[in-house]
Chains A and B, each alone.
Chain A
Amino acid sequence: MNALADLVAAPTRLVAPPRPSLFSRTGWAVLAAATAVNCVLVPLAALALPADSPFALSAYWLTLGGRIMCYALAAVALDLVWGYCGVLSLGHGLYFALGGYAMGMYLMRQIGRDGVYGSDLPDFMVFLDWKSLPWFWQGSDSFLWALAMIVLVPGVVAFVFGWFAFRSRVKGVYLSIITQAFTYAAMLLFFRNDTGFGGNNGFTDFKRILGFPIAAIETRVVLFVLTGIALAAGLVACRAIVRSKLGRVVSAIRDAETRVRFTGYDPLPYKLFVWTVSAVLCGIAGALYVPQVGIINPSEMAPAQSIEMVIWVAMGGRGTLAGPVAGAAIVSGAKSYFTAAFPEFWLFFLGALFVAVTLFLPRGVAGLFARRER
């Protein structure tokens, strides 16, 4: 009783709890090792080793690895909003594709006069009989401009959409469905030739990036390394966000939004912040994806594509950030294998994965390890 009285009488001093380190010691070690492998071993294996060496990395494996790392970055971004803010987006493929299109526009301009028609305009515009670049293509020949667009376009779209959606307190499955409809509508829009992004063929046949030939193994290595760095940086940035004070409010919103509001916080700016950051990260992932796979078209915005992203996160374990990296690697690795080996069984497998993960692995692969540690 005395202790209680003391507590009541004592002047209230609110002290923020000590801020934990971003990662555990093992976490940092794994991250450092992965970065070292990415920045040193991969270039060595791809460039220095003779092609017949068992450790040599071929262009195929470089592309596959780079692609999976792009997916992983998108999964991390999605985990930031779903795992920590409770907003299940079924439309993150849109931001991925927007980043990809922003990069694709630059790559199309880099083709220069090497296209089929030998025109200054991208081939599809010549095909549509357009005489000059539309206004939204202005500046796309500058790499800096492209970098700005990669961040700004997904960011602004996400901000505007999020502002409308979160302000009206749309949440839960409602919000998920609206994000899905949003990316679906964007897909339809980009499928039109008149929209000015190449219609259903999208952008392809890239020749070079910053003047370097895009198919050269050296360029691929650089892109691979950059993707790895972006993934690591994205992971650290997201971890920094969720470990910050802001991140705690965000988690609180996930657990009990109404209570957070009653406590005096307006959830809108918090949700909007993580939502926009997540979209920008997704856009960056898309921008790194396009030069490596060499094509971007509206099917990236298909609702099924976005839901596949969600299964990466669910598979890896949401709310763990590192888990989705593993999830993306497992699922898209399995997809590469299945679609080549048993194409007709891939959808069975993916569908079963959705059901099995939600029923039996609610915490994903990361949950398995957490349990074992305990």
Chain B
Amino acid sequence: MLPMKTLMLAAALLVAAALPGHALALSADLVLKLGAGDGDERSEAVRALSATQDPAARTLIEALLAGTVQASASAQKVFVVADGKATDAATGEPVAAVPSDAEDVVVNNRLRRELQTGLAAFALAAPDAGERSRAIAALEQDPQAADEAVVAAAIARETDPGLRARLGLVQAAAALSGADRARRLEAIGRLAESRSPATRLLLLPLVEKNPDGTFREGDAELRAAAKAAIEAIDGRGRAGAIAGSVFSGVSLGSVLLLAALGLAITYGLMGVINMAHGELLMIGAYATWLVQGWFRTHLPGAVDWYLAAAIPVAFASAALVGVAIERTVIRFLYGRPLETLLATFGLSLVLIQLVRTVFGAQNVEVANPSWMSGGIAIASNVTLPWNRLYIIAFSALVVAGVWAILNLTRLGLFVRAVTQNRAMASCVGVPTRRVDTLAFGLGSGVAGLGGCALSQVGNVGPDLGQAFIIDSFMAVVLGGVGQLAGTVVGSLGLGVVSKFLEPISGAVLAKIIVLAMIVLFIQRRPQGLFALKGRSADA
């Protein structure tokens, strides 16, 4: 049998070489070899078949991968058996009965890889650019498996410049493992242009050492080129990582900002720290969850737009709770900030336990609307999620709204007057008590908005507020009291600095370093970044 097989292999190679790409029916020899040949023959056959770009070949490859191919030694034929019906793999003709000695064609790992590469070659020729892109992505993960001829043909065929560039990289990666020194050198140069982390992994073996200290790659010039290429890739990766850090910093900062904004209003106005502020965030988040639930049961068609209703509901519910807190507790502790702090801490405990009792201690699930999921990729290693982008925009809107209320309305005028000099404002007829209540309601409502936003990026549970309260206090302290701009800069600064420190030092140390920096910063500027100018020594 063996010499026979060798002969057939030679014949197959001849056929493959003689008829590249225009065989209309599948060569019976090739098909037979695929079904009954040994390892090398089968690999050759797969390559030859995939080079034909014949749809029938693709069907056969897929059938092999699916394990529905049988081969008969006596009939010297290969059959595809599906749904009890058999067809001759070479001709595509239906066959009445498969010969009795037909056996399943066993696909081992090596063949499976070859088959998948072959399928990828078909996909590379697909008319749909998306499918081609997916095929290229598969090759990028394992460029050594790519067949050079297939890739070269795909490059020649490819019209999309982006895809062609990616194919070029795949080709270079394949050439890297070849033996031709000039081609390897050239391949390294081309890989240096890559943005994909996978190519970096390809280059790494070139500069690594064996355990005995010698380089795995003997050629010094290749080594140097590979090193330069890795540095180039790392440099671009760093730029991407920095952009990513800035973005996640701004994103964290904007969430902090929503939490700190309300705090800045209440603290700036009354000089009291509302320890229950974090729980107002939580109330906003739970309000969002309730609205989502209501939409799911009553307006399932409009679930995607539940946020539009949740925003005012979150604002109103948090504002109501805030007004209630102000009316029942804070009002009576006016002028005793430390006691207010304790009383509001007590309130926060009660609110947490209340939510735990009513809604359970488990986190509840708030889903992103479909228009908020996904993101835009700005680099291979940086994707900006839509929900975070929306939150940044949302907090910008909220800041603008609060600014407008404080600067353009009569209430805002009163609030600013009371913040600057309560006694004088009272003397000229500002109803300070009512301003207190309204401003507290406003600050609480803004916290509710923050909770609504938080529900889109984090877990919603009874402890939600606790995680944010210290950070948002820090933002207020850093920014300076009573200044919108200070709070904005403080929050964003805190967010960006912590996100930059996190990869270097780890999240915990980053928090500690940030805190130490704030304490040191307060040494220099006890009044924060943006201080109100005043004459009071105890300001």
Contacts and interface: CB of A to CB of B under 8 A. Distances in A.
- A and B bound? yes
A350 B346 contact: yes
Interface string A161-197: 1001101111011101110111011101101100000
B537 A181 contact: no
B508 A188 contact: yes
B345 A307 contact: yes
A164 B345 contact: no
B515 A185 contact: yes
Interface stretch (B28-36, B208-216, B330-338): B330-338
Contact of B519 (A165, A173, A257): A165
Given A164-B519, A351-B350, A170 B526 contact: yes
B404 interface: no
A88, A167, A177: residue with the most chain B Cβ atoms closer than 10 Å: A177
Interface string B344-378: 01111111111011000000000000000000000
Contacts of A354: 342-343, 345-347, 349
A168 B522 contact: yes
A354 B352 CA distance: 14
Contacts of A345: 353
A358 interface: yes
A58 B474 CA distance: 47
B379 to A, nearest CB: 31
A344 B329 contact: no
B71 interface: no
B333, B349, B357, B515: residue with the most chain A Cβ atoms closer than 10 Å: B349
B523 interface: yes
Nearest to B519: A164
A127 interface: no
B345 A359 contact: no
B419 to A, nearest CB: 16
B349 A170 contact: no
B537 A258 contact: yes
A321 B520 CA distance: 33
A311 B337 CA distance: 15
Given A174-B477, A177-B477, A185-B515, A351 B470 contact: no
Contact of A348 (B342, B343, B353): B353
B360 to A, nearest CB: 11
Nearest to A261: B537
Contacts of A169: 526
B426 to A, nearest CB: 22
Contacts of A358: 333, 336, 339-340, 342-343, 346
B512 A189 contact: yes
A191 to B, nearest CB: 7
Contact of B515 (A181, A191, A347, A359): A181
Given A311-B342, A362-B339, A355 B353 contact: no
Nearest to A256: B538
Size band of the interface chain B makes with A = 35 or more
B343 A355 contact: yes
Nearest to B276: A351
Size band of the interface chain A makes with B = 35 or more
B512 A185 contact: yes
A1 to B, nearest CB: 36
B353 A344 contact: yes
B470 A359 contact: no
Interface in B464-498: 470, 473-474, 477
Contacts of B337: 172-173
A165 to B, nearest CB: 7
A70 to B, nearest CB: 22
A177 B273 contact: yes
Given A170-B526, A172-B337, A258-B538, A347 B350 contact: yes
Interface string A101-126: 00000000000000000000000000
Interface string B510-539: 011001001110110010000000000110
A303 B181 CA distance: 64
Contacts of A172: 337-338
B506, B518, B523: residue with the most chain A Cβ atoms closer than 10 Å: B523
Contacts of B538: 257-258
A172, A173, A189, A350: residue with the most chain B Cβ atoms closer than 10 Å: A173
Contacts of B336: 358, 362
Given A169-B526, A173-B337, A359-B329, A164 B520 contact: yes
A314 interface: yes
Contacts of A170: 522, 526
B341 interface: yes
Nearest to B337: A173
Contacts of B473: 177, 180-181
A184 B469 CA distance: 11
B508 A191 contact: yes
A184 to B, nearest CB: 5
Given A165-B519, A181-B473, A181-B474, A188 B512 contact: yes
B526 A351 contact: no
A347 B512 contact: no
A88 B346 contact: no
Contacts of B329: 355, 359
Interface string A128-172: 000000000000000000000000000000000100110111101
Contacts of A174: 477, 522
A41 interface: no
A170 B508 CA distance: 25
A272 to B, nearest CB: 15
Nearest to A191: B508
A182 B517 CA distance: 12
Nearest to A172: B337
A192 B333 contact: no
Given A347-B353, A351-B348, A359-B343, A167 B537 contact: no
Contacts of B267: 173
Contacts of A168: 522-523, 526
Nearest to B340: A358
B511 A185 contact: yes
Contacts of B537: 258
B363 to A, nearest CB: 18
Interface string B254-274: 000000000000010001110
A310 interface: yes
A172 B522 CA distance: 14
A182 B518 CA distance: 11
B511 A188 contact: yes
A310 to B, nearest CB: 6
Nearest to A257: B538
Given A185-B511, A351-B353, A358-B333, 6 more contacts: A170-B522, A173-B272, A176-B341, A188-B511, A314-B342, A351-B349
22 contacts: A88-B338, A169-B526, A170-B522, A172-B337, A172-B338, A176-B338, A178-B477, A178-B518, A180-B470, A185-B515, A344-B356, A347-B356, A348-B350, A354-B345, A354-B347, A354-B349, A355-B347, A355-B350, A358-B336, A358-B342, A358-B346, A359-B333
Interface of A: 88, 161, 164-165, 167-170, 172-174, 176-178, 180-182, 184-186, 188-189, 191-192, 257-258, 303, 307, 310-311, 314, 344-345, 347-348, 350-355, 357-359, 362
